[in-house]
A = this chain, B = another copy of it.
Amino acid sequence: MKSPGHVESVVTDAKLVEQRRGQILKAAVKLFSEKGYYITTVQQIAAKAGVSTGLIYQYFGDKDDVLFLALNRVLETYEREIPRRLEGIEHPVDQLCTGLWAYCSIVDGMREETVLAYRSTKSLRADRRNLIKEKETKTNRLLGECLHACIEQGHMNPVNEYLLVYQYVTFCHAWALKGWAFRGKFTLSDYVSEGIALLVEPFLTAKGRTALDSLRRRTNGFSAERWPKQQPARPRARNN
């Protein structure tokens, strides 16, 4: 009857639903991130969003729905934005590095949300927890495919892909999770460059290394100028 991934709204106007949900989720993400899901009360979310308590229940079935949609948005942003940033990039080494950069910079734009996704998944109802896990896996696969191409095309020596991808993912998440420790020490692009030095470069073949050098030259070492921090373009226009 009720699919776990669906969130009911009493209100029918789709545009309004989108707007109100955004407004409420923004407040919820902030509060959930600061204080945690259980500590945050629905009334607090309402207050922060500048709406009444009852309104929340016009756009979400219950509190769990709010968390679910919040997490969903984060993961969907990853899933949508990473491929967008890889568009037009052909070389697997370029793709992998750009993928890492993209993931980190998206994380950077959604630090609170990322922390939330990390910490609060288990507060979800069991069926939805799995939905979220699947989405996470899908995102991981994006980096996994880049890595696999590198190896297959001889730019990288064979490695335990499965574990290495996992290291990539935690590396990207860490920018949000341990941000308090990192942000004093690195800029985002330094962080990514260092990550590539640790987790990509050592495994490259000569061929692969050439590609990386070329990329570095072209990007001035992943400087922020070339790869500016970029807000994930939210509701993009049609003909973009």
Contacts and interface: CB of A to CB of B under 8 A. Distances in A.
Given A174-B170, A202-B202, A202-B203, A122 B163 contact: no
Contacts of A199: 167
Interface string A38-71: 1100000000000000000000000000000000
B195 A163 contact: yes
Interface string A159-177: 1101110110011001000
A90 B224 CA distance: 43
Q: How many copies does the complex hold?
A: 4
Which applies to chain A's interface (DSSP): helix, strand, loop or mixed?
helix
Contact of A171 (B167, B195, B197): B167
Interface in A96-141: 119, 122-123
A198 interface: yes
Contacts of A160: 194, 197-198
Given A36-B122, A123-B36, A202-B202, A166 B174 contact: yes
A143 to B, nearest CB: 15
Interface residues of A, number: 27
A178 interface: yes
Interface string A185-203: 1000001001101110011
A167 B198 contact: yes
A192 to B, nearest CB: 11
A123 B119 CA distance: 11
Nearest to A115: B122
Interface of A: 36-39, 119, 122-123, 159-160, 162-164, 166-167, 170-171, 174, 178, 185, 191, 194-195, 197-199, 202-203
